[in-house]
């Protein structure tokens, strides 16, 4: 979808195009879209988050290369390495101020970042297939009163992750503006849109997952009907998420991931919840170290909130089968509705 550079640019073009469609001129858009009164909110319900699920693990972040000890004030048995590193807390020795991260593996607590807040964001289920696109607001904002306009305090303040309907759109200066209410318009870069698609050829399971890399959204289907949608973070830059038709082939309730050891982009992530591999070492999985959902941020995997990953993990459980070549799970269709 939108890179952070594109997003920053969008904040500038909002002002540039502020005179693109001033109120006193005749503009080619429907200011009183009839869908607004008929469908004031998307036909969805929040799946909610389970506090105990989010508190099941406690994590710490390591920001430097630290020695690992076999006991508090014990002998050095290894090191963490320098990179993007998170460990699960197995035990805390509050008296000595040490944290155990594994069997006979301890780190001094004073060197760790301990305030890791797991995102409470959660996707939505559909009451019925939507007749118009829906989506999420990606930034705190006021909508403009017309396409290309500046944010207007006359419109309600919308928080990030607000769910909206998209009633229409208008191009201004090469960019698309979405109508999300009466006299409420937002730039396309401020929205992650969900538009249900026709079941692609090659999708062979009744339960299947579609991932739109441009919009950074995921939609789950049963047959031809969308039943769930959410925001994701897919691969960025040097580590893109590959488009294509895949099958989940390996599942872990919890696992670890690491890569690029000794390199500048080294990472070590312990106890990643609800992991579903579908394209080599690329997986859908829960993410506790950020909540930048709606933006590309990963090394190729499809990052989900922990709540959403648990929902998909359970939902796809019965979608697979075993063959002579091994486990074949739910179909995963990865595509892009735009260029970034």
Residue 26 falls within a domain, yes or no? no
Q: Are residues 163 and 205 in the same domain?
A: yes
Instruction: Tell me the DSSP string of 46-115.
Output: E----HHHHTS--EEEE-S--EEESSTT--EEEE--SSEEEEE--EEETTTTEEEEETTEEEEGGGEE--
The domain in which residue 309 lies consists of 1-18+41-53+117-340
Same domain for 122 and 159?
A: yes
pLDDT for res 30: 57
Average pLDDT over residues 291-295: 97
pLDDT at 122: 97
In a domain? residue 339: yes
Whether residue 206 sits in one domain with residue 177: yes
With respect to residue 33, please indicate whether it lies within any of the assigned structural domains: no
**Residues 233 and 241: beta-carbon distance below 8 Å:** no
| pLDDT at position 28 over 80 | no
Q: What pLDDT score does 238 carry?
A: 87
For 29-49, the pLDDT digits (tens) are 555 677 788 888 999 999 998
- pLDDT for res 33: 75
Identify the CATH number of the domain in which residue 198 sits: 2.40.440.10
In terms of domains, do 270 and 334 share one?
yes
Q: Mean pLDDT over all residues of the chain?
A: 89
Asked if 86 and 140 sit in the same domain, the reply is no
Check if the beta carbon of residue 199 is closer than 8 Å to that of residue 93.
no
How many distinct structural domains can be found in the chain?
A: 2
Q: How many residues does the chain have?
A: 340
| 94 and 128 housed in the same domain | no
How would residue 258 be classed by pLDDT, with cut points 50, 70 and 90? confident
The answer to whether residue 36 is domain-embedded is no
User: Do 209 and 229 belong to one domain?
Assistant: yes
pLDDT at 10: 45
**Claim to verify: residue 89 and residue 157 sit in the same structural domain:** no
Residue 190 pLDDT exceeds 60: yes
In a domain, 31, yes or no: no
Same domain for 94 and 214: no
Lowest mean pLDDT of 16-20, 238-242, 246-250, 292-296, name the range.
16-20
Residue 284 lies inside a defined structural domain of this protein? yes
In a domain, 35, yes or no: no
> Does residue 24 register a pLDDT over 50?
no
In a domain, 283, yes or no: yes
**Which sign does the torsion angle of CA 326, 329, 333, 334 carry?**
negative
């Amino acid at each position: 979808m939108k890179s952070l550079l594109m997003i920053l640019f969008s904040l500038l073009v909002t002002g540039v195009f502020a005179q693109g469609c001033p109120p006193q001129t005749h503009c080619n858009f429907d200011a009183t879209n009839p869908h607004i009164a008929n469908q004031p909110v998307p036909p969805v319900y929040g799946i909610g988050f389970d506090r105990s699920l989010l508190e099941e693990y406690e994590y710490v972040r390591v920001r430097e290369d630290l020695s690992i000890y076999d006991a508090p004030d014990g002998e050095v048995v290894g090191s963490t390495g320098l990179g993007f590193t998170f460990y699960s807390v197995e035990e805390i020795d509050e008296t000595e101020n040490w944290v155990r991260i594994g069997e006979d593996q301890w780190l001094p607590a004073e060197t760790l970042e301990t305030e890791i807040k797991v995102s409470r964001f959660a996707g939505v289920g559909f009451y019925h297939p939507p007749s118009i696109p829906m989506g999420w607001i990606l930034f705190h904002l006021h909508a403009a009163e017309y396409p290309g306009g500046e944010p207007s305090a006359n419109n309600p303040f919308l928080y990030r992750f607000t769910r909206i309907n998209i009633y229409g759109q208008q191009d201004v200066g090469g960019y698309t503006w979405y109508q999300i209410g009466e006299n409420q318009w937002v730039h396309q870069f401020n929205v992650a849109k969900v538009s249900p698609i026709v079941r692609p050829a090659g999708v062979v399971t009744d339960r299947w997952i579609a991932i739109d890399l441009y919009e950074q959204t995921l939609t789950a289907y049963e047959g031809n009907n969308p039943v769930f949608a959410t925001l994701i973070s897919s691969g960025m830059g040097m580590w893109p998420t590959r488009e294509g038709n895949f099958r989940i082939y390996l599942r872990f309730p919890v696992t670890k991931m690491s890569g690029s050891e000794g390199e500048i982009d080294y990472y070590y992530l312990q106890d990643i919840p609800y992991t579903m591999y579908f394209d080599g070492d690329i997986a859908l999985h829960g993410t506790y170290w950020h909540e930048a959902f709606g933006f590309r941020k990963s090394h190729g995997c499809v990052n989900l909130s922990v709540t959403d990953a648990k929902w998909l993990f359970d939902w796809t459980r019965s979608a697979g089968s075993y063959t002579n070549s091994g486990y074949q799970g739910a179909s995963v269709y990865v595509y892009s509705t735009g260029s970034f």
